[in-house]
Structure formats: C-alpha cells, structure tokens
C-alpha cells in the first residue's frame, strides 16, 4: 500500500506546474514592434532621405544663377572706366544654357569693345555644346547618378531590414527556447523533490533502504544545478531580446519577467513556397544594389565616351537698348554677338584611357554580380535543404520522445508492482528530459531556419 502511495506521488509529480496564465508576446507582434521602432529600422528610413537629398543636391546644378560685377578705376581725378554688369544664367537638361545680361559702361579710357549706349545694353541668348557634352555632360551625369543612387536606397533599406529581421527572429526564438528549457528543468526539479520526499517517507516507514534517499537527493541536486543553468541562460537570452525592443520615443525597453514567448510548437505559419523563393531571389537586394552600381558605371562610361569628341561650343546673344525691342531683332542681321570655340587633343590618350577604364570597371562588376547571384542561389538551396532536413529530424525525434515516454510509463508500472527499481526509473526519466530538451532545440532550429531561408531569398519582414 505504501509503495502504491509513493508511485502515485511519482506520477502526479510529473504533471506541469505552470497552469497559471500570463501575458504572451507573440512573434508577429514582436516583429511589428521591432520594424516600427528599432534604431536600425529608423536608419533604414534615413537611407531613403539620403537618396532624396542626393538628388536635390544634383538638381542644384541646374538652378538659375544670378551674377553681378562692378569694376571701376579712378586715378588723378580721372575716371578711367566704370563697368557695371548683372545677369542670369539658366542651365537646362538639354545641355543648352540660357543667359541674359545688362551692362552699362563709361569712362575716359574705356576699351572701345566695352562701349555701350549711355542707357545701357541688354543681351539675351544661349550657349550650346555641339560636340563634347552634346549628349551628356558632368551636370547631367551627376543628376542621373544621383537618381540611380536614390533608387538604390530602397534596396539598401530592404537589405538593412532583412538583416534586422534575421537577427530579431533568432533572438526571439532563442529566448523562447530558454523559457521552454527553464520550464522543463523546473518541472524536473519539482518531480525530483516530490520523489525525494516520497522516498524519505518510505525509508522512515521501512520500505526503502537509506541508499535510495541518497540517490533521490543526488538526483534533486543535479536537477537543481541544471535549473540554475537554465535560469542563467534565460537571463542572457532576455537581455539579448531587449536589444531589439524600443519605444516610440527611441528609448530601450526592458521586458517584464512575467511576459512569456510564443510556444515553440506553434508552427501554423511556417510554410515555405520553394519555387516562389527561387523566383524572388532574382530581386534580392544585394543583386539590385549590384545592378544599380552597374547603371551608375554605365553613366560614367557614356560620359567618358563623350570626352573623345572635340569641344565645339556655340554662343549667340541678341543685343538691344530696350527690352521691348527683342521681338524686333533679326537673327544674324544686326545687334548681336556670337562666338564659336573649338579645341581637341591630338592623341586622345586621356579620353580613350578613361573610357576603357570605365568599361573594365563594368566588366569587373558584371563578373562580381554573376558570382554573387550564384552564391546567393547556392545559399538559398542550402537553407531549403536544411529546412527539409530539420523538419524530418523533428518528425523522427518526436517519435523518439514518444517512445521514451512510453518506456518511462512502463518502468513506472513495473516499479508499481515491485519489478523495477528507483535507479531504473530515474534513468528512464533522465532520458525523457534530455530528449525533450533536444526536441526543443530542434523546434527552435526550425523557427530560425524559416527566417534564414527567407533571408537567403532576400525576404524579411514582408
């Protein structure tokens, strides 16, 4: 009868001691919080702002330019000359520069070419490159490269968020594993304590020898040690998780000890479409960044190709004493000034060398891009294979845990009828607890493998 009482205590002690409810931080809610408030997420948004400002800066090269000049010389009570000039210059995307000016000059020794009517002289016209710079010049190339950089910032932002997603996911599931292992070790301690008390009572009543109390006490101490290790691991993992929790004002959050993670066994959302991921990797942020860099290098190549052409710059301005006379001006008949500038190197070594260098950089980057794509696809296949293997391992090991639990129950029944010993029961129980910890680790690896596979395909929070 006393042995039956001890067996009942042994079985009932194996029941979970965590029946009370507590608040749960779900994985989905956690990821939403990380994406909204983590500093790296904020940095990812800043990258977009940097791209916008880069374009704005490049557009500044097309801003109209106001200019003015005053030059006067007076000596020996004589005004040699006094020259005044003001005007505006307007660059355009077509490469034509519009300009307008007003000049008023006077003086006893004024250069004759600067002589203008006493009321001043207005001019309006344009200058255009007919050779080098006709298709592309530094100003337009700078704006195009800035626009390419602006487009690339979205891929850079996505790359930062993908890395954040992987790190945050790993931190969460390692925290969940630490919680599960602590609960398991606490269950083991409670069971060992119950058994020790039962053995102690049985010893006092003469049913068990004294050595059984030593064995039960040793088992209790051993499990208390593993519980202490589990508690320390949980503390470390909680601190790591806190690194990803920030509030709306940019301050870090310390997770309350009463908050529990999502259950490791909740796998309803862990579905991977392998073929879809293989297609999505074509838009991987790292490949997109390489494509944008190639586009920027192509702008450099086109600009270098323009420099092989000779410089041919044509300028023309209408001249008039009154603004309302511009509509009466006749092209190249009267009241105008124009000029033509032409020059070119004889051997073009600098221009040709620059273009060949730009082409070499493009070829180098194309090779790097092809290698990067192969590496990314290989990594994805490895992760997909790992995902398949870990699911098979979990299926296999789950059956192993069930078998070990059946062996434990059988050993308990044998112990109940006096055909087993406390040592064998302890051995079976240790195997069950060890296998459950291993299963917890496998379930955690599956959660993290899911995140790693999505990351390998270039998918993060989406």
Instruction: Provide the CATH number for the domain around residue 37.
Output: 1.20.1600.10
Of 290, 325, 347, the residue that ends a domain is 347
State residue 331's pLDDT score: 58
Identify the H or E element spanning 450. Answer: helix 422-456
Cα separation, 326 vs 368, in Å, equals 58
Quick one: 293 and 386 in the same domain?
yes
Are 260 and 340 within one domain? no
**153-188: b or e for each residue (b if 16 or more CB lie within 10 Å)?**
bbbbbbbbbbebbbbbbbbbbbbbbbbbbbbbbbbb
Same domain for 143 and 52: yes
b/e string for 28-58 if b means 16 or more Cβ within 10 A? eebbebbbebbeebeebeebeeebeebbeeb
Are 293 and 433 within one domain? yes
The length of the chain, given as a count of residues: 462
Residues 27 and 149 in one domain: yes
Determine how β-strand 97-106 pairs with β-strand 65-75: unpaired
Number of domains making up the chain: 2
From CA 453, how far away is CA 379, in angstroms rounded? 9
Q: Mark whether 102 and 208 lie in a shared domain.
A: no
Residue 1: the pLDDT is 36
Residue 72 in any domain: the answer is no
Assess if residue 82 is contained within a domain: no
Taking the C-alpha atoms of residue 168 and residue 447, their distance in angstroms, rounded to an integer, is 12
> Which range of residues forms the domain containing residue 291?
2-59+139-300+352-456
Distances (CA, A) of 286 to 291, 456, 462: 9, 11, 17
Of the residues 323, 347, 371, which one is the last residue of a structural domain?
347
Q: Are 55 and 143 in contact (CB under 8 A)?
A: yes
Q: Read off the tokens for 174.
A: 């390692």
On whether residue 64 sits in a domain, the answer given is no
- In this structure, the answer to whether residues 244 and 287 fall within a common structural domain is yes
* 411 and 268 together in one domain: yes
In contact, 212 and 203? CB cutoff 8 Å:
yes
Q: 263 and 143 in one domain?
A: yes
Do 111 and 224 lie in a common domain?
A: no
6 and 199 in contact (C-beta within 8 Å)?
yes
Q: Examine the domain organization and report whether 246 and 288 are in the same domain.
A: yes
Within-domain flag for 86: no
- The structure's pTM equals 0.82
Which secondary-structure segment (H or E) carries 312?
Answer: strand 311-320
What's CA 249's distance to the chain center, in Å? 21
Structure token digits, residue 63 = 């801003």
SS3 of 272, please?
coil
Domain membership flag for residue 12: yes
Report pLDDT digits (tens) over 191-211: 888 888 877 787 777 777 788
Is residue 87 within a helix (H) or strand (E), and if so which, with residue range?
strand 78-91
Residues of the chain with pLDDT under 70: 1-22, 267-269, 324-333
67 belongs to a structural domain: no
Q: What is the pLDDT of residue 4?
A: 35
Look at residue 21 in the predicted model and tell me its pLDDT: 43
Closest residue by Cα to residue 255 from 320, 318, 171: 171
Regarding whether 333 and 293 lie in a shared domain, the answer is no
- 84 within some domain: no
**Does residue 79 form part of some domain?**
no
């Amino acid at each position: 009868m006393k042995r039956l009482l001890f067996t009942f205590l042994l079985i009932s002690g194996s029941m979970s001691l965590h029946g009370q409810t507590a608040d749960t931080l779900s994985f989905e809610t956690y990821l939403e919080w990380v994406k909204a408030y983590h500093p790296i997420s904020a940095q990812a948004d800043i990258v977009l702002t940097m791209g916008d400002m880069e374009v704005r800066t490049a557009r500044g090269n097309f801003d109209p330019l106001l200019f003015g000049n005053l030059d006067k010389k007076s000596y020996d009570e004589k005004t040699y000359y006094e020259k005044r000039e003001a005007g505006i210059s307007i660059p355009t995307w077509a490469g034509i520069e519009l300009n307008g000016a007003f000049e008023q000059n006077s003086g006893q020794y004024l250069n004759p070419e600067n002589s203008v009517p006493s009321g001043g002289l207005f001019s309006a016209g344009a200058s255009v490159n007919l050779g080098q710079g006709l298709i592309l010049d530094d100003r337009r190339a700078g704006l195009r490269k800035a626009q390419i950089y602006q487009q690339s910032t979205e891929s850079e932002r996505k790359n930062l968020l993908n890395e954040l997603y992987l790190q945050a996911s790993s931190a969460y599931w390692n925290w969940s594993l630490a919680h599960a292992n602590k609960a398991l070790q606490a269950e083991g301690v409670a069971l060992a304590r119950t058994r020790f008390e039962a053995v102690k009572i049985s010893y006092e009543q003469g049913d068990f020898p004294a050595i059984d109390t030593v064995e039960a006490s040793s088992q209790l101490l051993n499990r208390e040690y593993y519980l202490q290790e589990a508690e320390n691991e949980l503390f470390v993992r909680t601190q790591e998780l806190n690194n990803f929790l920030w509030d709306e004002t940019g301050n870090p959050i310390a997770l309350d000890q009463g908050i529990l993670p999502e259950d490791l066994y909740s796998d309803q959302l862990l579905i991977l479409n392998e073929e879809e991921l293989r297609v999505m990797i074509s838009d991987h942020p790292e490949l997109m960044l390489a494509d944008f860099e190639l586009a920027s290098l192509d702008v450099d190549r086109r600009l270098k190709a323009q420099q092989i052409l000779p410089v041919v710059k044509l300028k023309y301005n209408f001249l008039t004493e009154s603004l309302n006379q511009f509509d009466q001006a006749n092209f190249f008949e009267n009241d105008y000034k124009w000029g033509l500038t032409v020059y070119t190197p004889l051997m073009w070594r600098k221009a040709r060398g620059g273009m060949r260098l730009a082409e070499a950089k493009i070829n180098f980057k194309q090779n790097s891009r092809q290698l990067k794509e192969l590496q990314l696809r290989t990594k994805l296949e490895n992760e997909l294979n790992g995902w398949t293997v870990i699911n098979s391992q979990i299926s296999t090991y789950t059956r192993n845990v069930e078998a070990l639990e059946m062996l434990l129950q059988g050993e308990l029944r044998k112990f109940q009828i006096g055909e087993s010993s406390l040592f064998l029961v302890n051995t079976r129980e240790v195997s069950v607890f060890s296998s459950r910890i291993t299963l917890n680790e496998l379930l955690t690896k599956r959660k993290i493998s899911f995140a790693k596979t999505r990351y390998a395909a270039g998918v993060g929070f989406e």
